[in-house]
């Protein structure tokens, strides 16, 4: 049994954050461990309040997990501020397991989940440790300091982010950039691959970014190579969207993370 670690914020609505990550790990038959960085009052409509966990408590959680479990893969999500980022980077600096960094900055609802002053800390301390970095279009624009409005922009943004983390694979998530949807760019060491999956017309999309990065981390923990892990994670996400729960809340509902259970059959 492989173990994976998520370092992220809590979503009281259960569809994103730590909750989505643990569900995704379980669906991949990977044991999920967690370090909580922030607590949110959140539902399908939006984020009403955020409270960071004190950095000494974040450090204590990390020490507890890493001293006991053999972690085979990890991901970061919402980290909120620079002190928390520095604590996380310090704890992971000597670790050799693959790390997926989901640079969570702003929720789909528009609520800010990372302080502006923390972006530089993330780039300087966490990006050098990353195996995969998974910005959406908005995050890619902030990190690359440019507008990202088309595929040409995605390519250029990926190149600029790669300059910040030359060892990492950069997955720029295209979202609804084109009518067909589902087009992401995977970039590494000067090579680009466009990944397209079926576009699923649903408003039940709460937690898609968290779910995708957790699925990549779970697959890396299982020993899958990065390009295969990313492609398989995208297919898993498509299935979770197709089978999304209906009638939950008044906003963007949750995916169905446990729609499928056998990781050996994931493409």
Dump pLDDT digits (tens) for 144-202. Answer: 999 999 999 999 999 999 999 999 999 999 976 765 566 999 999 999 999 998 889 88
More confident residue, 267 or 39: 39
Tracing tokens 């576009």 back to the chain, one arrives at 199
**Which residues participate in catalysis according to the annotation?**
173, 205, 207-210
Contact residues for 67 (Cβ-Cβ < 8 A; gap 6+): none
- pLDDT score, position 265: 46
Quote the strand ranges of 160-201, DSSP E. Answer: 169-173, 183-188, 191-196
Q: How would you list the strands of the sheet with 3-11, edge to edge?
A: 47-52, 31-42, 3-11, 71-76, 99-101, 132-133, 169-173, 183-188, 191-196
Q: What are phi and psi of 99, to 5 degrees?
A: -130, 125
CB atoms within 10 A of CB 23: 23
How far is the CA of 209 from the CAs of 13, 63, 90, 96, 224, in angstroms?
A: 15, 27, 25, 24, 20
- Coil, strand, or helix at residue 37? strand
Whole-angstrom distance, CA of residue 96 vs CA of residue 92: 8
Residue 112 in this model has a pLDDT that exceeds 70: no
CA distances, 157 to each of 101, 119, 145, 225, 258 (Å): 16, 16, 8, 24, 33
* C-alpha closest to that of 113 among 99, 102, 128, 126: 102
pLDDT at 198: 87
With a threshold of 0.75, does the pTM exceed it? Answer: yes
Q: How far apart are CA 71 and CA 93, in angstroms?
A: 14
In this structure, of 62-71, 87-96, 143-152, 253-262, the range with the lowest mean pLDDT score is 253-262
């Amino acid at each position: 049994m492989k173990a994976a670690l998520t370092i992220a914020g809590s979503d009281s609505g259960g569809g994103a954050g730590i909750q989505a990550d643990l569900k995704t790990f379980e669906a991949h038959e990977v044991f999920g461990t967690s370090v909580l960085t922030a607590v949110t009052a959140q539902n399908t409509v939006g984020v009403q309040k955020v409270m960071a966990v004190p950095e000494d408590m974040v450090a204590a959680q990390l020490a507890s997990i890493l001293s006991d479990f053999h972690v085979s893969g990890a991901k970061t999500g919402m980290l909120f501020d620079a002190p928390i980022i520095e604590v996380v980077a310090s704890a992971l600096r000597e670790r050799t397991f693959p790390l997926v960094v989901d640079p969570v900055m702003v929720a789909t609802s528009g609520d800010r989940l990372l302080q502006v002053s923390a972006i530089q800390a993330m780039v300087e301390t966490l990006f050098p440790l990353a195996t995969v970095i998974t910005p959406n279009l908005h995050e890619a624009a902030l990190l690359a300091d440019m507008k990202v409005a088309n595929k040409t922009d995605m390519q250029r943004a990926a190149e600029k982010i790669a300059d910040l983390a030359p060892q990492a694979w950069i997955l720029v998530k295209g979202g609804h950039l084109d009518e067909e949807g589902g087009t992401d760019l995977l970039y590494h060491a000067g090579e680009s691959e466009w990944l397209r999956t079926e576009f699923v017309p649903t408003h039940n999309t709460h937690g898609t970014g968290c779910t995708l990065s957790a699925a990549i981390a779970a697959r890396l923990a299982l020993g899958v190579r990065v390009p295969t892990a990313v492609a398989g994670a995208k297919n898993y996400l498509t299935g979770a969207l197709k089978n999304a729960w209906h009638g939950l809340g008044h906003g963007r509902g949750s995916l169905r993370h446990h729609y499928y259970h056998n990781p050996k059959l994931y493409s």
